Structure 1
């Protein structure tokens, strides 16, 4: 059983309607035949079995990763027709992408941005992101929501950093374009392929990373696997600053190595996050936040997906 944990008291604690946000990497069927799935039964990998379980998760806002275009068009966009929905496929020949759903009764969508990380001169990978500026009709204020799926390759920490920084830059441009106030809340959710308290995680929550002090490139994400590679000399004089004050919605200050958001043969760790916050110095004064505790490996029956969990990731709320 995953318990709710109250993480902060906002100034609106007594009056704010609940806002339920979810992120979920749902495991694309076209990516489910890789070596990490070899211990999973064929039945537990069947899309026809997994899909009904996945679509039981309904929230005010949810971001999904590893969504195939046909599944978005024929299943998800129709089942969740009471939501505004946006989809972007990964570039190149990749079979999947990200989508973002926002409940129509709660939000008006004012603007949206589709981010292709391959557009960056130094980024040769096909990952993507979505950003939406909304007006929350219950809270009577603007809010920004974003979902992404950052590069998996653990040895390419610099590319992961470029992708994360590019997403933040695009959110910042949206703030400037619409002259958003400093108390406009931000929610950034997705599969970041990094572990808690790694250099990349600290960049998100502490707001700064100095590559000269960050060790080898394959250590930036905290996964510490893949080919050991020094950070290239012409990168070492670079620093990256996160323009926002963000926190993780998950119960991190008592993080244990036993906690997981992904659990299969190739990975048993936390890689999925919902970050929340606002412009720097405003922090968590906007909304009270609750998050569900991570699952613990010792409570798992088997590698994922299994009878209880229809993906190799667990949904984060």
Structure 2
């Protein structure tokens, strides 16, 4: 995945002649927020922090303090050297200081001092990195009872791994065997213990044999959709039967040449309508819509991904409509009432890409973009062909991404797009990403990593303005520097080349 020897050489060259280490202190506000508040502070040997830049520390200044006890625990015998810093173990045990002193900034710190090489160290480090971040505190007992958790996870189908072994040439061969990976995946899922799992790249035969029986023993029900063609993998949604009852499900295949000539690939999506049951009953008999998908990978074919996404959103729009009096009074899809929605999966698109912006903003003008620009993947930049208005035409689906029989004809939405240079499309939902793009150190989160690249292509969205759904917390992802410390994935702890995204919600 990464050449550590090259990394060390680069760092040593950068640090030659001066050694200036930036220390980051993390503080949290009294109110829960999406992100921890971060302020860059400098540390001097008098145990004081200031807002100025860190002064260069000479070797003499370090040596004068070697006999001092720790100011926190008052112990002398548990100091260790980390990246030329004399750090007490009581500080290293703290989650925030672990980040502070663990070679977090690649350009300023050497990674050689804290690379973990045994499963126990890797496991503990992952858990320290992947702590739960609270967003909303429960304000009453009913809300606490109505909390549920959801995880989306691309578990890497074994047939796809074997067909692309060059992506995993840095991993141990034993870590790539299905017997080993299935045990690790099963352990990950059991430890997460989410009420709902949305899985991608599920090799149905392997999954049904190796993992599903254990999850069924734990009370999960499963719905799956296999890719079309000669594929062996697809998408699955699992949920706990003591919390939800399946009301309806929708299988979506994206090989739909009748809708668009761009829809000629075998990707699929799966949507379920779940009713809370038992103590978990929600008010007003609300249902929860959960949509799970895996879009095309090809970085050059963002036009296909956009068509796949719009087909999915149109299907969700029709599936999620509430059957109430307010909806019978209007045909305008923007004025209709919908059940709360969670949309997740592997979108094969970076977080700042046009495709993800379209999901979050509800509209986007794709004018001037090449098909390789749409998903934001580095390999596709300015490749492919310029997007044309004809690429946005889907038979039976309008530019509001609704089936035409759902649109009020008096609105005449088609007239909005008379100008040929306007390539704007919309959708009716108000989605927000559960995850921020950057962590508290302004480093991008990572959800997948192979020998050649890493990125944030898995996403978890929810109806954030819906009165019945509130985000409670999310399980922090890792960044590139964290991943360097645990080696290549899959490894002895993580069973996939992706990392699971998990969140907790309140449903009322």
Q: How does the TM-score come out when normalised to structure 2?
A: 0.58
Quote the residue 1:310 is aligned against: 495
Where 2:378 maps in the other structure, the secondary structure is: coil
Figure out how many residues of one structure are paired with residues of the other and give that number: 313
Q: 1:60 to 1:306 in 2, by over 3 A?
A: same
Aligned position for 1:4: 132
Q: Is the 8 A contact 1:247 1:277 kept in 2?
A: yes
Structure 1 residue aligned with 2:309, among 142, 158, 164? 164
Are positions 1:65 and 2:210 aligned together? no
Higher helix proportion (structure 1 or 2)? 2
Deviation of residue 136 (structure 1)?
1.3
Alpha-carbon separation, structure 1, partners of 2:167 and 2:292:
25
TM-score (norm 1): 0.90
SS at match of 1:126: strand
Relative to structure 2, which stretch is displaced further, 53-62 or 150-159?
Answer: 53-62
Question: Kindly tell me: are residues 284 and 274 of structure 1, through their superposed partners in 2, closer, same or farther at Cα, counting changes over 3 Å?
Answer: farther
The corresponding residue for 1:104 is 241
- The separation in 2 between residues aligned to 1:246 and 1:284, in whole angstroms, is 13
Question: Are residues 284 and 41 of structure 1, via their aligned partners in 2, closer, same or farther at CA, if it must alter by over 3 Å?
Answer: farther
Structure 1: gaps (5+ residues): none
> CA separation in 2, counterparts of 1:49 and 1:72?
13
Stretch moving more, 179-188 or 99-108: 179-188
**RMSD (CA atoms):** 2.4
SS in 1 for 2:255: helix
Once residues 309 and 204 of structure 2 are traced to their aligned partners in structure 1, the CA distance between those partners, rounded to angstroms, is: 23
Judge conservation of contact 2:267–2:295 (CA < 8 Å) in 1.
yes
1:226-305 equivalence runs, <5 A: 226=380, 228-233=383-388, 234-235=390-391, 237-252=422-437, 254=439, 256-277=442-463, 282-283=465-466, 286-300=469-483, 301-305=486-490
Deviates more, 1:116-125 or 1:194-203: 116-125
1:228-281 per-position Cα deviation (integer Å, ceiling 9, x unaligned): 122243336543212111111113365845421101113211011111116xxx
| Secondary structure of the corresponding residue to residue 287 of structure 1 | strand
Shift in Å at residue 305 of structure 1?
A: 0.6
- Structure with bigger gyration radius: 2
| Cα distance change of structure 1 residues 204 and 118 upon mapping to structure 2, 3 Å threshold | same
For 2:444 and 2:424, the matched residues in 1 are separated by 32
**Deviates most, 5-14 or 104-113:** 5-14
Asked which structure has the greater RCO (Cα within 8 Å, sep 6+), the reply is: 1
Contiguous gaps of at least 5 residues in structure 2: 1-127, 328-335, 392-420, 503-508
Q: 1 CA distance for matches of 2:344 and 2:223? A: 15
In the TM superposition, what is the alpha-carbon distance from 1:37 to its structure 2 partner?
1.4
Distance 1:133 1:283 in 2: 16
What secondary structure does 1:222 align onto?
coil
CA gap 1:157/1:12 in 2 versus in 1, 3 angstroms: farther
Name the stretch that deviates more: 122-131 or 8-17: 8-17
